[in-house]
Structure formats: structure tokens, C-alpha cells
Structure 1
């Protein structure tokens, strides 16, 4: 009775095409692109190409293809008019699912089809945040090349030992040790002072908010992360700098203190401003 009552809440049109939608999703799940092509040649299947179906989190065939990395099925669905930025109940787009699965081919196909590189605004995360956390430099590069927001901010506030964590792409790339992603973000214009309080009011509201530079020091990130932040214009005069006797990042701290003692020249400051405006793409990735 419970199942029946739930089915009664579904729109009549959705019930009418439930079988076709299920068949489409089954073909995609099995990566059977030949069957999928045959189904999509029929009008009754094309009508429900954007319909969600399945147990758990119902999804469209396109999201199913993206989440499993089934590129040929994904391309077929796009060619037959699948909605490229359709969302599920979590506001996750097919692109977001492809980034989570680290399926570069699917990511590229979706971006070329016009997918929003920032995902959906109602989602608590974003493709850029996910790629930075997972350390997928090539996917991150493609997202930024297609116009993704380099300073994306997570809607989920993180706290570590009473400190408000700046959970942006730079921070995630640093704490997970993804130096390539960290460099790419900075080259594409990421703010090296991300999370810096903009005014006194915001500073009073969140007294423990920390910048990327401070969090890199707290988490013991390698000196290369500190060097890159300084090179790209991070403010080295942090509001607080606690140096513990047991700290392991002496090299990073020494670099920071040297930089404090030798302010940047006017030429260096001009170079930073020009770089921010140009946002030149990084050189090709070097495979290790």
C-alpha cells in the first residue's frame, strides 16, 4: 500500500514513460551504447531522455553516464538533446558527477556541450572545489579554461580547533598536498589572500578566520606552497603568527621572515598586478 500511495504522487506523464526511462538508464548503466542508440531512434524514448528514474537518488540517463564514465553513451545522449545541466535532488549536475569520478573524457564532452563549469549554485560544493581536493590537475585545468570560478567558496563552513577554515580551492589543494593544482589555481588568478577579512566589521564577526598562508603554516605544508603564495603576492604580514618550538616547517617560516624583512620592489608589485589582469594560462602539465 505504501508503494502504491507513493506512485500516486507521481505525475501522470512520468508514470506513462516510467518503463522507457528505466530502459534508457539500464542501457547506460551497462554501457550498452548500441542498445541506447537503438532506443533513442524511437520518439517514445527521446521524450523521456531527461526524466529521472531509479532507486536511491533518481537520476537522468545523462547523469548516470557521467557518474560511471560511459563516454559513448554520454555523447549519444547529448547528441539527442539531453539537458546538459540537469540536476538531481542534491543539485549535482552531470559535470559535477564526472568530476567526482575523475572521468576526463566525460568532463570535456560536457564542457564542450555548454555545461556550466561552476555546477549548480544550490550545490554545497562545486566542480573546481572537488577537482582541487582530489588533486586532478588536468580536470581542474579544463574547468578553468572553460571559465570556472577560480575562487569558488564552499557553502559548508569548516572548523578546525576553533579556527574557521577557508575551504576554497587553494586551501583544499594545499592541505591535501596537490602542488600542481595549487600552482594552476594561482596561475589562473586565485586570490593568494583568500579568506582575508575585507573590513573591520567582518574581522570582528569572525575573529578566528585564517588566510591560506596561515593555514598552510598550521598544516605543515611544504615550503613550495609558501614560496608560491609569496610569489603571487600573498600578504606576508599576517595578523598572528604563532611559532611553536616543535614546529616542523622551519624552512617555510624562515622564508616568510626573510620576505618580511625585504619588502617587494615597485617593479615586482607592478608585475603582480599585470599578471592578475592577464591571467595567462599555465604551461602544459609535466607527467611524472
Structure 2
């Protein structure tokens, strides 16, 4: 490929969409999983943001096919972590939907927005934090929290209509889609989430879902309690660092036992359990 691209007349085709996918060469290299071909094409000047006919950028494709190394190559080369405006979905939402927590972590590291303005204001496709609950991927939920996502849409720097806040209620989503996993409730409460959020019908989560479940029991117990001083301090310290600087927490001159706490490492043990149970349910459904 290097030899072909060394010929001037070949470069005119470097961003040409070809069959069978009507996609440019870089997109095809990503689909085929070829890291070296992708690097050669990028070095030769391939458009890193050029979409296929579906509006999918090379990074979007790498994310949806769980090709972590290709994601790193593209992101390090300057790929937009948000994907293309021509596709209403984003690489981050795809990673969350598919339970690709490593991809979520990588995208957040390179600046993906966990509260995408257009997707939240239109509810299409939605809010990554809520998506993690809808698909019961606690590992992705945890990575979003570690990455500095907000717990309440009213905390965003722009105004979100109250009907949208109600529609995207996290506690309602937990009781509807992840009722067997109280860890969602516990972590959401730890980051200052509003467990008494009313939905668009004016109902609290306990009123909307009266049936008993592990998650509901957790909400009930937490509604009557306050967050610990340690928990509040963690929240305030992380706020001071802001989203872009959270990776610097590990360099703080603090007792070694506090660094994992600031990064919510005590919740990591739940990730494997949730993913295993979700996989079991999928297998049973297919059978």
C-alpha cells in the first residue's frame, strides 16, 4: 500500500468511496481491522472524518466493532470523538449501548461529551448515562461516572426543559430496566443523584413502579438517609478538578488508600456481576 500511495496519481483516490459499502479506504481498513493500513492511509492524508453513506466515521465503525487499537490510532490522529452530525448516534452512545466499557473510557479520555447537547434536548437517541441503565451495563455507567458525568441534567451549564429532565429520569430508568441491580442506585446516590425525581406523569419512581425489587429496596433505604461526609468530600474534590483534569487525581499527595476511593474503585466489583447476568439473560432469550 505504501508503494501504491507513493504514486501521485493514486492519491486522488484516497478519499474516494468504493463498493461494496460505498465507503472510503480508511473506513474499509477499519472495518477489516487493519491497524497498519489505517496508519498508512492517515499518513498519506486520508480524511479521518470522512463518513460512509450511513454517516458513520471511521472512529464510529472502530467503536461499534470494538477495535480498541484502531480507536487509539484514530483518536491520537485527531479524530473527533463525537463522530459526525450526519449520524444522530455517536461513538460514545454506541459503546455504552454495547457494553464496551473500555471504549467508553477511551472516548472520554479524548474528550467525548457525556452530556451531548443535541441528543439530550431532543431525547434522540438520548443521554449516555441513562443508556447505560437501559442496557444494564454497570461497567459503562461506572466509566461515565469516573469520567465526570453529571448526575442531574439541571446541573448542566445550559437549560434543559423540565419535561426532558422528567423523561430522562435516572431512578425511573433503573426501576424499569435494571431493577435487579441496586448498585446503579447506590452509585447514582453517591454522585448526588436525585432519587425523588418525578417523571413526566408527575410520579416518583416508587409510585411508578410499586412492585418490589432489589433496586427499589435500595432507593427506599437511601431516601431516608444522608450522604456521608466522606462521600460529599469525594464529590467536592472531583468537582474542583473538573472533567478534563480528573486523570490527575492519581498524582495527588494523599494516602494511597484515598486515591482508589476518589476514583470509585469500590464499585468495580459490581461490573463483572452485572455483565455476567446480562449475558445470561441474552443467551436464555436466544434459546
TM-score range for the pair, normalised by the shorter chain length: 0.7 to 0.9
Indicate conservation of the 8 Å contact 1:232/1:272, yes or no: yes
Deviation at residue 119 of structure 1 after TM alignment: 0.8
Aligned to 1:95: 59
Work out the CA distance in 2 between the residues paired with 1:100 and 1:183: 20
Which runs of 5 or more structure 1 residues have no equivalent in the other structure? 1-35, 159-163
Aligned to 2:254: none
1:276 is the counterpart of 2:239: yes
Indicate conservation of the 8 Å contact 1:129/1:169, yes or no: yes
1:139 is the counterpart of 2:106: no
Aligned to 1:129: 93
Aligned to 2:72: 108
Which runs of 5 or more structure 2 residues have no equivalent in the other structure? 199-203, 248-262, 273-287
Deviation at residue 58 of structure 1 after TM alignment: 1.4
Deviation at residue 217 of structure 1 after TM alignment: 1.2
Correspondences of 1:162-241 after superposition (within 5 Å): 167-194=126-153, 202-203=161-162, 209-221=167-179, 222-239=181-198, 240-241=204-205
Of Structure 1 and Structure 2, the greater helix share is in: 2
1:151 is the counterpart of 2:109: no
How many aligned residue pairs are there? 245
1:258 is the counterpart of 2:221: yes
Structure showing greater Rg:
1
Deviation at residue 122 of structure 1 after TM alignment: 2.8
Aligned CA distance change for structure 1 residues 125 and 210 (closer, same or farther; 3 Å)? closer
Aligned residue for 1:254, secondary structure, equals helix
Work out the CA distance in 1 between the residues paired with 2:60 and 2:172: 30
Work out the CA distance in 2 between the residues paired with 1:70 and 1:229: 39
Aligned to 1:3: none
TM-score, length of structure 1 as denominator length: 0.73
Aligned to 1:45: 10
Cα root mean square deviation, aligned: 3.3
- Where relative contact order (Cα < 8 A, 6+ residues apart) is larger, the structure is 2
Deviation at residue 42 of structure 1 after TM alignment: 1.1
TM-score, length of structure 2 as denominator length: 0.73
